[in-house]
Structure 1
Amino acid sequence: MNVRKIVTLIDETAREGGRPVNPAARVAVVAAVIENPWGNQPFVEDLSEGIQDNASDLGALLAPRVIEALGAPVEAYGKAAIVGLDGEIEHGSALIHTLQFGDHFRKAAEATTLLPAVEKRGRAGVTFDIPLKHKTDATIRSHHQSIEVRIPDAPHPGEIVVALAAAAQGRPQQRLAPLSSEK
């Protein structure tokens, strides 16, 4: 795994809907900008070697960092893979849609649900939204949220941005009824 940089973002919302949010709603994102392990090659039919060489190491690198950056117990989480223009969306998906990657975050967050994800291809500075859901019950509406991310100089054409996001709570001032209340 060739990491060019790691970016950490913290978002704290202190007011929402004209009212204070106390404590402030906190979301953390940690992203690694890596060299695409399948870059500079013709079409690769079997991606398993690149997955084995990179997915677990990426999960082990990012999971403790995003939890530390959050500074509170994780309640909601999500992931992203943004592939540079010379790669395939499947390259990003191959890294993040594996137990080798995701289980590091699930274990560290004491979570059981699947990690919601976004994958896309884009130029350096592309904006992407990471979806988050509750870590143990994906039907809890208050925790369905997203965070917008942009890294000005990534991904380069031969890179992939792999990111994890964690929230310490649901949406600020959420007031939707539980999903189970609908008929």
Structure 2
Amino acid sequence: MNVRKITTIVEEIVTEGGQPVEPVARIAVVAAVIDNPWHGQGFVADLAEGIDATASDLGGLLAPRVVEAIGAPIEAYGKAAVVGLDGEIEHGSALIHTLKFGDHFRNAANATTLLPAVEKRAAAGTTFDIPLKHITDATIRSHHQSVEIRVADAPHAGEILIALAAAAQGRPKQRLAALSTEQ
């Protein structure tokens, strides 16, 4: 795995709707920009070799960094893959939709739910939203949120940007009733 850069973003929300947020709401994102392991090979029918060579190392690189960046227990999480224009969306999906990748974050966050995800193919500098859900119960509405990010110079055409996101809480000032009230 060839990593070109790692970007860490920490957002702190101190007011919402004109009201103070206490404690401050924290969201952290860590993104790695890597060479696409299938770049230049044409259509690859079996992606297993690239997955085996990359996914676990990538999860092991990103998970501890996002845990450190959030600096608090994780309550919501998500992941993203943005594939450069010379790749396929399936290349990003192959790396993030495997337990070899996701279990690093799941274990670090003491989580049990599947990681929500976004995948897309785009030029460098694209903006994308990472969906977040609660780490143990995906039906907890307060933790359904997203974080918007952009890495100005990534991904290049032969790269993939892979990101993990974590929140230390649900949406600031959330006021929706529990899902069970509608069932």
Band of TM-score, shorter chain: over 0.9
Aligned to 2:174: 174
**Normalised by the size of structure 1, how large is the TM-score?**
0.99
SS of the residue 1:171 aligns to:
coil
Alignment of 1:127-146 (within 5 A): 127-146=127-146
Per the alignment, residue 84 of structure 2 pairs with: 84
Match of 1:36 in 2: 36
1:69 matched to which residue of 2? 69
User: What SS does the corresponding residue of 1:50 show, helix, strand or coil?
Assistant: helix
**2:22 aligned residue:** 22
Tell me how far 1:53 sits from its aligned partner: 0.1
What secondary structure does 2:171 align onto? coil
- 1:161 is aligned to 161
1:106-145 map, 5 Å: 106-145=106-145
Task: Give the counterpart letter for 2:44 in structure 1.
Answer: V
- The aligned counterpart of 1:53 is 53
CA distance in 1, matches of 2:25, 2:123: 30
Cα distance in 2 for residues equivalent to 1:70 and 1:164: 11
Shift of 1:23: 1.1
CA distance in 2, matches of 1:45, 1:7: 31
* Runs of 4+ with >3 A deviation: none
- The 3-state SS of whatever aligns with 2:37 is coil
Runs (5+) with no aligned partner, structure 2: none
CA distance in 1, matches of 2:28, 2:42: 36
Aligned AA for 1:157?
A: A
Q: Tell me what 2:149 maps to.
A: 149
Taking the aligned partners of 2:11 and 2:130, their CA distance within structure 1 comes to 13
Q: CA deviation at 1:42?
A: 1.0
TM-score by length of 2: 0.99
Cα displacement (A) at 1:181: 1.1
1:151 and 1:128 map into 2 onto residues whose CA distance is 10
Q: Describe the SS at the equivalent of 2:132.
A: strand
CA RMSD across the alignment: 0.4
